[in-house]
Structure 1
Amino acid sequence: MVDSSCRKYRKENLVNPRCYLLCFCAALIAASSHADDFAASPRIQALVADAGSSLLIADRFDQPVQNRLEGYRSTFQRSPSFSSAMRVPDPRRGDNGYSMRIEATKASAGFCGYWIHFFDMHALKPTYFDAQAYTHLSFWVRGERGGESFNIRCSDVDWIAKEDSELVGPVDQFLDGGVTQAWQEVIVPLRSTNIDCSQFAGLTLEFAEVGEFKIYLEDVAFKSDPNQMIPANVKPEPQAERPQTTTPSRTLWLWSTKELLGSTPRWYELFDFCQAHEIGQIWLQLPYKVERPQLSKQPEPSKVSATAPESSLSARVTVLMQRELRSFITEAHSRNIRIHALDGAPEYCLTKNHDIPLGLVDAVMQFNSQGKEQEKFDGVHFDNEPYLLLGWHSPSRREQILRQYLELNAECQRRIREGSNMQFGVDIPFWWQATDKNTGEATAAVEFNGVRKAASFHCIDMLDNVGVMNYRDRADGADGIIAHGKALIEYGQRQRGATIFMGVETFMEADRKVWFLVGLPRKRFQQSLAVIPLFADQSLIDGHRVRTMDDGENIHLGIEIPHAPSDQQRAATERSLRRLAKQFYWLLESDQQVESRRATAKSVIAADSQWRTFESRDLAEEGEIPRMRGFVTESVMPSKVTFGDDLMVDFDEQTSAAENYFQDFDCFGGIAIHFYETYRSLCEPAAAEKVAPKQTP
């Protein structure tokens, strides 16, 4: 989990103020869908066929992600402007349901607003809404203070293709006296626009004036008679009461075990904190050592070498600090807090390194067998993240990695079920179900046990639990926690598989400089990984994190540069970069082609909020390696992936909204929070200096 906060898959949702950004958003949000859900919905056809004098599209916003046309909704923004949206039960029109609360801060620069689609952006062949039977688009709005201003824009299939929309006019044009604190209906004549109503795509509210705004939105509808009133929601007829659902307790990742176990007062601070914040489970980094008989020097757990001997070796894993662990677990159990042994490294996914995680499982079971009941671990949890291996960028090598990853998980689960009463689980990203545009199937598609589907679904099928790294700081919307977790939780419910924990992030990673070598076109890069498979099996070089940047055409490789590096650190970074260069320099073409690729990378960095600044920096010639073209840029953690820069009130509101949705599913295990120190700092800012820093697992 160390580096999971700022992946290349998590890009800032930057959009043109007049567009829906279909292509860009779909790449992010399709992660919550899978192939079976891509077909055009029969509900859409039924709604069109039954079109009458009015058609409610978003009635009360009862559905937390999509409307009656399967359309998604979300905010858009560009810093320093900002917008957020959330379903709220008050204020609302009528006795039941929700309204959509939209808040916007429009600065002198940037843009912000809110969009609603009338088609399924995930469908391989989207079905746009045929609105020809209707003459007007209607929605209800009220302001928090009154006087709020925004522009109304609409789009059809052609506008979506251009990632833009047509300005219809300011809201004041359709409301005498403008927005007030009372609910008012906005009626937009469709015939006065240039929109193709046979392929209607969406509605956008754009906040164009500088200021702070808060409005509430309700009952979006199409009408053939502008005078027909959309009735307010009335309280439904009493129905049989549903069984009362209890919100599950929460789970906490905790990495800095050695510091914690060495200080008994810190135990009590931790346990008191857990009880105050309804945390009933901790995934605790296991302190251990590895001995591989044929290795003269043992690798650290998180720095397994890709050149290690094959799996004929059998690692012996020894649990450290056993006395402290037994006392710690006993105290946790006395407070009804479960403890799972946590560990992970990308290299553990590979067959040649399976002996280490399997040895760890055996060591935990042995630890339990030698202790009293109250001293035993409740489970084992792995956070291996195979997508950090360089080979992930090759579809063929990716499938091999995933198959080995699943084989490891299956064997860990088998051993734990047969030899203990513990639970076994793993962390998975939310986006493995996303369609890879280069392959046309799920990003993490793999055949396992005779079935081909996303690795996330395989994990849900066979494991006790999974922790979904569902790192967003908003519950609602197309790019929110619910949207990204929806397909997984629904699959888990259908399959009666693993318990599913929805993970949120509170860690705020500092900006990091990365020195990249100008890369190769995607296919040539993938071919190079096949030629040098050992290199493809690494995520670290000499302890330096290897970074990749995909600019849409080329894949660039680089090394993170330490903050304010010493001369020794600077030299070590350059040595690692030279190791990368040695693998790839012979694949590069002419200087002109290399410079063209560097220019492409520069333009992408300028438009992508994950990166900041660009500086050309080459690697000097040395021996057989010619001068390597390169560039330095800063990696930036997008704000939307973490609650680390939010207020506690925001965290509580958003996670509670996500819990309210997920708790209706029997397979939901609760919210999991990454990780203890940063979450405590969020909850108790005054205590921030008292907690230990995160320990790299």
Structure 2
Amino acid sequence: MRVKATKASAGFCGYWIHFFDMHALKPTYFDAQAYSHLSFWIRGERGGETFNIRLSDEHWIAKEDSALLGPVDQFLDGGVTQGWQEVIVPLRSTNIDCSQFAGLTFEFAEVGEFTVYLEDVAFKSDLDQMVLANVAPEPQPQRQQSTAPSRALWLWSTKDLLGSTPRWYELFDFCHAHEIGQIWLQLPYKVERPGLSKNPEPSRVSTTAPEAPPSARITMLMQRELRSFIAEAHSRNIRIHALDGAPEHCLTQNHHIPLGLVDAVLQFNSQANQQERFDGVHFDNEPYLLLGWHSPSRREQILRQYLELNAECQRRIREGSNMQFGVDIPFWWQVMDKNTGEANAAVEFNGVRKAASFHCIDMFDNVGVMNYRDRADGADGIIAHGRALIEYGQRQRGATIFMGVETFMEADRQVWFLVGLPRKKFQQALSLTRLLADQSLIDGHRVHTMDDGENIHVGIEIPHAPSDQQRAAAERSLRLLAKQFYWLMESDPQVESRRATAKSVIASDTQWRTFEARDLAEEGEIPRMRGFVTESVMPSKVTFGDNSMVDFDEQTSAAENYFRDFECFGGIAIHFYETYRSLCETAAAETFAPKHTP
């Protein structure tokens, strides 16, 4: 953890770690009686940093204070340096009640700015116990900026861009100024032959390689503009990858569309000169947005189909070109799902069972990790969430890994939920209702789920202050949900209790705001369905959209400085062009705004 402190001449400046749940009605403190020492590792950014070490127990917490043990130099011969050192703090010689141990505090008492790095806080009963597993390597001399991997950039508004040559040059100048060497460019196209089957067979259980499935006929649009655009990008050392994605493309019955897109790009390149060819294909399909993801059995089928699709895309590209193939994955696929005891995206593929993220790193040329946090350090930071993936990639010599960050700030969205079902009953309904499980949209309405810990509620996104027409459209989509799914809830006596549970969770969860009970009126065979409307809020921590440019540069540079020591690191990827440019332009406007003096 990186702690950056700015101490003024007055006021408290410090960081504390609690060893109890400070929000509990009756806190349970840590019983440390079996331990003789508290240990942690420390290094400074410059060396010579100093701070006080303080400890607290139940008595001190009641006073919102802690007991001073002394400056860190007292426990380190020579004080803090740029190298990692273990600090050993004796517990039994203090006046702290170790049976009610409450916290460790680092107090910066001297005026100035200090940055220190902390790792591996531990209790010890034997000083010979070594706690070294997670200590990072010694800091290396700062590399010149030119040696850093170039960055990648998602770009979705392709038609607007290609239609205006001056915008090309603005984009390329922007990329040069911000060290962007790769653009993932939404491919403009249309599907000539949509759909292979309206009633596809259920997904096969076998993981043997399937016969190559057929493709849809994809017509690429604006081909002349694309050739000129790519050629100009190459003249400026910028690589262009064709981008596309939709959750439904993960499913076998829709594979013909992305496979057709791959074939179209291969054909496009075969008819172009070297300077005008795409450098790769990149898919952002996000299968976890399908409702079926919430059923463990259906989730594994979805993941298997997702991997089958991308393996076939990779095969075609390697056999037919020297392009690269890549996919986007979330940072959390390999994290354990408490409900299943396995990784969130555990799947057996090619005879091996592991997280889909690891399969992707094994098989594909590059992977973009949607590592959407606005802090590099800390347990919920970019480094912590990306470390397992980058270390796996390094061991396996697999895909080049890009760490993606977000600059888009989504407005709050109203969601109209039907009161949900207990988890197992919800999963049962998904297994019986294939139509519902395979959707991320219903009649154009984005589907949302909310897990309150006991029940899973499902609903649709609706406009703020909807018109009569929009409200009628929303009700039609909700009735489709009710018809396909909520027949299991008829005459359920617990429905009001479940709505109350949802209300209490919304009141304490920062991802949701407001609560209004709103039912769906009875119509035909569908009885009156209990529901509620709330607002989905994009957490501030997932995006740099509400941060300053100084903060963006500091945090992304800190992440780069960590990841660049791994050979598989491809660079930071930024989502996406328009919002990142807006962030940069806002910073520039603030910098050059005239300063008014009184």
SS at match of 2:529: coil
For the Cα contact (< 8 Å) 1:472–1:642, is it kept in 2?
yes
Output one character per residue of 1:443-479: Cα deviation in whole Å (capped at 9) or x when no partner.
1000000000000000000100000000001111111
1:620 to 521, 526, 545: 521
Give the distance between the partners of 1:201 and 1:152, measured in 2 at CA: 8
SS at match of 2:147: coil
Give the distance between the partners of 2:95 and 2:522, measured in 1 at CA: 65
Q: Return the letter of the residue paired with 1:279.
A: I
Give the distance between the partners of 1:149 and 1:618, measured in 2 at CA: 57
In the alignment, is residue 672 of structure 1 matched against residue 573 of structure 2?
yes
In the alignment, is residue 101 of structure 1 matched against residue 4 of structure 2?
yes
Output one character per residue of 1:522-578: Cα deviation in whole Å (capped at 9) or x when no partner.
101111111111220010001110000001110000000123433222211111111
Output one character per residue of 1:15-74: Cα deviation in whole Å (capped at 9) or x when no partner.
xxxxxxxxxxxxxxxxxxxxxxxxxxxxxxxxxxxxxxxxxxxxxxxxxxxxxxxxxx5x
1:251 to 152, 167, 185: 152
For the Cα contact (< 8 Å) 2:334–2:343, is it kept in 1?
yes
Q: Return the letter of the residue paired with 2:96.
A: T
Report the counterpart of residue 222 of structure 2 in structure 1.
321
> What do you get for the CA RMSD once the two structures are aligned?
4.2
SS at match of 1:504: strand
Give the distance between the partners of 2:141 and 2:467, measured in 1 at CA: 69
Output one character per residue of 1:336-392: Cα deviation in whole Å (capped at 9) or x when no partner.
000000000000000110000000000000011111111100000000000000000
Report the counterpart of residue 97 of structure 2 in structure 1.
194
Give the distance between the partners of 1:413 and 1:535, measured in 2 at CA: 30
Report the counterpart of residue 592 of structure 2 in structure 1.
none
Report the counterpart of residue 567 of structure 1 in structure 2.
468
Give the distance between the partners of 1:586 and 1:213, measured in 2 at CA: 64
1:431 to 318, 332, 349: 332
Q: Return the letter of the residue paired with 1:193.
A: I
Name the TM-score, length of structure 2 as normaliser: 0.80
- Unaligned residue ranges in structure 2 (runs of 5+): 9-13, 21-29, 72-78, 81-86, 126-136, 202-211, 590-598
Instruction: Among all aligned residue pairs of Structure 1 and Structure 2, give the percentage whose two residues are the same amino acid.
Output: 76
Q: Return the letter of the residue paired with 1:170.
A: D
Output one character per residue of 1:631-656: Cα deviation in whole Å (capped at 9) or x when no partner.
00010011110011000010111100
Q: Return the letter of the residue paired with 1:272.
A: D
For the Cα contact (< 8 Å) 2:156–2:185, is it kept in 1?
yes
For the Cα contact (< 8 Å) 1:516–1:556, is it kept in 2?
yes
Report the counterpart of residue 285 of structure 2 in structure 1.
384
In the alignment, is residue 402 of structure 1 matched against residue 297 of structure 2?
no
2:505 to 565, 590, 604: 604
Report the counterpart of residue 170 of structure 1 in structure 2.
65
Report the counterpart of residue 95 of structure 1 in structure 2.
none
Cα distance change of structure 1 residues 174 and 214 upon mapping to structure 2, 3 Å threshold: farther
Name the TM-score, length of structure 1 as normaliser: 0.69
Output one character per residue of 1:275-332: Cα deviation in whole Å (capped at 9) or x when no partner.
000000000000000022679xxxxxxxxxx957679874211110001111110110
2:424 to 505, 519, 523: 523
SS at match of 1:399: helix
Cα distance change of structure 1 residues 284 and 188 upon mapping to structure 2, 3 Å threshold: same
Report the counterpart of residue 346 of structure 1 in structure 2.
247
Relative contact order, CA 8 A, sep 6+: which one is greater? 1
Deviation at 1:592, TM superposition (A): 3.3
SS at match of 1:503: strand
Deviation at 1:585, TM superposition (A): 2.8
Cα distance change of structure 1 residues 315 and 104 upon mapping to structure 2, 3 Å threshold: farther
1:521-600 maps to which residues of 2 (within 5 A)? Answer: 521-588=422-489, 590-600=491-501
SS at match of 1:421: coil
Cα distance change of structure 1 residues 218 and 267 upon mapping to structure 2, 3 Å threshold: closer
1:118-517 maps to which residues of 2 (within 5 A)? Answer: 132=34, 134=36, 152-153=55-56, 170=65, 173-174=68-69, 191-196=94-99, 203=104, 246-292=147-193, 314-517=215-418
Q: Return the letter of the residue paired with 1:617.
A: R
Cα distance change of structure 1 residues 168 and 448 upon mapping to structure 2, 3 Å threshold: farther
SS at match of 2:559: helix
Deviation at 1:216, TM superposition (A): 5.2
Deviation at 1:603, TM superposition (A): 0.7
Give the distance between the partners of 1:539 and 1:221, measured in 2 at CA: 44
For the Cα contact (< 8 Å) 1:618–1:631, is it kept in 2?
yes
Cα distance change of structure 1 residues 599 and 213 upon mapping to structure 2, 3 Å threshold: farther
SS at match of 1:170: coil
Deviation at 1:243, TM superposition (A): 13
For the Cα contact (< 8 Å) 1:141–1:186, is it kept in 2?
no
For the Cα contact (< 8 Å) 1:471–1:642, is it kept in 2?
yes
Cα distance change of structure 1 residues 369 and 607 upon mapping to structure 2, 3 Å threshold: same
Report the counterpart of residue 544 of structure 2 in structure 1.
643
Report the counterpart of residue 115 of structure 1 in structure 2.
17
For the Cα contact (< 8 Å) 1:294–1:313, is it kept in 2?
no
Cα distance change of structure 1 residues 101 and 622 upon mapping to structure 2, 3 Å threshold: same
Cα distance change of structure 1 residues 676 and 129 upon mapping to structure 2, 3 Å threshold: farther
Q: Return the letter of the residue paired with 2:350.
A: N
Give the distance between the partners of 1:237 and 1:458, measured in 2 at CA: 31
- Unaligned residue ranges in structure 1 (runs of 5+): 1-72, 74-85, 87-99, 106-111, 119-127, 156-164, 177-182, 225-235, 296-305, 689-697
